[in-house]
Chains A and B, each alone.
Chain A
Amino acid sequence: STDTPAAEAPAETPDPVEEPAEGLSGEIHVYTRDATSGTREAFEGGIGFDKDEETLTASAVETSGNGDMASKVGNDVNGIGYVSLTTDFAANNLKPLNFEGVEPTIENVLSDDYSLKRPFSYVTRAAGDFESDEAEALTRAFIAFITESEEGLSAVDGAGGIVDLSSAKPWSEVAETVDGFDPATDYSGITLRTRGSTSVDKTLKAALEAFQAEVAFEFNMDHTGSGDGFKRVLGEEKDGANAGDIGFASRKFGDNETVSDGMLSGEYCQDAVVVVVESSNPLSEITQQQIHDIIVGQLTTWEEL
Chain B
Amino acid sequence: MTRKRRIYDGILNALTYLSSGIAVIILVMVLQFVFVRGWSGVNFDLLSKPYWSGNNTIEFPQFKTGAFDRPDHLGDDIAFSEKLGIGLSDGLDAYKEHQVVVEYLDPESPLHHGVVSTAGVDLGKELGLSEGSNIVNLMLKDTDDKIVNVGAQRKSTAEETVAAMDNISEMRKIYFKTEGGGINGSLKATLYLIGLSLVIALPIGIAAAIYLNEYAKANRVTNAMRSSIELLSGVPSIIFGLMGVSVLFPITQLMGIHTVSIILGALTMAVVLLPLIIRQTEESLKVVPIDLRYASLSLGATQTQTIFKVILPSALPGILTATLLSISRIIGESAALIYTMGTFIADRPRLDQGATTLAVQIWSLMSGEQPNFELSSTISIIILLIVLALNVSVKLISYRINKKWSVS
Contact size class for A?
Answer: 35 or more
Encode contact with B along A79-120: 1 for CB under 8 Å, 0 otherwise: 000001011100000000000000000000000000000000
- A5 in contact with B55 (CB, 8 Å): no
Q: Does A231 sit at the interface, judged by CB under 8 A?
A: no
Q: Does A209 sit at the interface, judged by CB under 8 A?
A: yes
- B119 in contact with A66 (CB, 8 Å): no
- Answer whether A209 and B177 are a contact pair too, CB < 8 Å, given A5-B155, A158-B153, A186-B120: yes
Q: What is the CB-to-nearest-CB distance from A171 to chain B, in angstroms, rounded to a whole number?
A: 10
**Cα–Cα, bound, A101→B157 (Å):** 32
Instruction: Tell which of A1, A6, A68, A185 touches B96, judged by Cβ atoms closer than 8 Å.
Output: A6
**Cα–Cα, bound, A68→B373 (Å):** 12
- A9 in contact with B96 (CB, 8 Å): yes
Total number of A-B contacts with CB less than 8 angstroms?
127
Instruction: Tell which of B120, B152, B264 touches A187, judged by Cβ atoms closer than 8 Å.
Output: B120
Q: Does B374 sit at the interface, judged by CB under 8 A?
A: yes
- Answer whether A202 and B55 are a contact pair too, CB < 8 Å, given A9-B92, A158-B155: no
- B56 in contact with A213 (CB, 8 Å): yes
- B343 in contact with A213 (CB, 8 Å): no
Q: Which of A215-223, A257-265, A276-284 contacts B (4 or more CB under 8 A)?
A: A215-223
- Answer whether A222 and B342 are a contact pair too, CB < 8 Å, given A188-B121, A240-B245, A241-B249: yes
Q: Does A75 sit at the interface, judged by CB under 8 A?
A: no
| 338-378 of chain B: CB within 8 A of chain A | 338, 340, 342-344, 346, 354, 366-371, 373-374
Residues on the B chain within 8 Å of A267, using CB: none
Residues on the A chain within 8 Å of B368, using CB: 65, 67, 198, 201-202
Q: Does A214 sit at the interface, judged by CB under 8 A?
A: yes
- A210 in contact with B136 (CB, 8 Å): yes
Instruction: Tell which of B154, B258, B338 touches A158, judged by Cβ atoms closer than 8 Å.
Output: B154
**Cα–Cα, bound, A243→B154 (Å):** 34
Q: Does B149 sit at the interface, judged by CB under 8 A?
A: yes
Q: Does B97 sit at the interface, judged by CB under 8 A?
A: yes
**Cα–Cα, bound, A113→B9 (Å):** 74
Q: How many residues of B contact A (CB 8 A)?
A: 45
Q: What is the CB-to-nearest-CB distance from A176 to chain B, in angstroms, rounded to a whole number?
A: 12
Q: What is the CB-to-nearest-CB distance from A270 to chain B, in angstroms, rounded to a whole number?
A: 15
- B367 in contact with A65 (CB, 8 Å): yes
Instruction: Tell which of A65, A154, A216 touches B120, judged by Cβ atoms closer than 8 Å.
Output: A216
Residues on the A chain within 8 Å of B342, using CB: 222, 242
Q: Which residue of A lies closest to B95 (CB)?
A: A202
Residues on the B chain within 8 Å of A202, using CB: 95, 368-370
- A154 in contact with B122 (CB, 8 Å): no
Q: Which residue of A lies closest to B356 (CB)?
A: A222
Encode contact with B along A50-88: 1 for CB under 8 Å, 0 otherwise: 000000000000001111100100000000000010111
- B55 in contact with A213 (CB, 8 Å): yes
- A154 in contact with B153 (CB, 8 Å): yes
- B260 in contact with A242 (CB, 8 Å): yes
**Cα–Cα, bound, A9→B136 (Å):** 19
**Cα–Cα, bound, A216→B54 (Å):** 10
Q: Which residue of A lies closest to B157 (CB)?
A: A5
- B121 in contact with A216 (CB, 8 Å): yes
Q: Does A13 sit at the interface, judged by CB under 8 A?
A: no
- B97 in contact with A6 (CB, 8 Å): yes
| 211-252 of chain A: CB within 8 A of chain B | 212-217, 220-224, 239-243
Residues on the A chain within 8 Å of B137, using CB: 151, 154, 210
Instruction: Tell which of A66, A213, A215, A217 touches B136, judged by Cβ atoms closer than 8 Å.
Output: A213
Residues on the B chain within 8 Å of A1, using CB: 155
Q: What is the CB-to-nearest-CB distance from A277 to chain B, in angstroms, rounded to a whole number?
A: 19
- B122 in contact with A216 (CB, 8 Å): yes
Q: Which residue of B lies closest to A10 (CB)?
A: B96
- A222 in contact with B343 (CB, 8 Å): yes
Q: Does A199 sit at the interface, judged by CB under 8 A?
A: yes
**Cα–Cα, bound, A242→B264 (Å):** 12
Instruction: Tell which of B119, B175, B177 touches A183, judged by Cβ atoms closer than 8 Å.
Output: B119
Given A11-B373, A154-B153, A242-B260, 11 further pairs, Cβ under 8 A? A6-B370, A65-B369, A66-B369, A157-B153, A187-B120, A198-B367, A209-B136, A213-B118, A216-B120, A241-B245, A241-B264
17 contacts between A and B (CB under 8 A): A88-B370, A151-B137, A154-B137, A155-B136, A158-B136, A158-B154, A188-B121, A201-B368, A209-B55, A213-B56, A214-B57, A222-B343, A222-B344, A222-B354, A224-B338, A240-B245, A241-B259
- Residues of chain A having any CB pair with chain B under 8 Å: 1, 4-6, 9, 11, 64-68, 71, 84, 86-88, 151, 154-155, 157-159, 183-188, 198-199, 201-202, 206, 209-210, 212-217, 220-224, 239-243
- Residues of chain B having any CB pair with chain A under 8 Å: 53, 55-57, 90, 92, 95-98, 118-122, 136-137, 149, 152-155, 175, 177, 245, 249, 258-260, 264, 338, 340, 342-344, 346, 354, 366-371, 373-374
| Cβ-closest 4 pairs across A and B | A216-B120, A5-B98, A158-B153, A212-B55
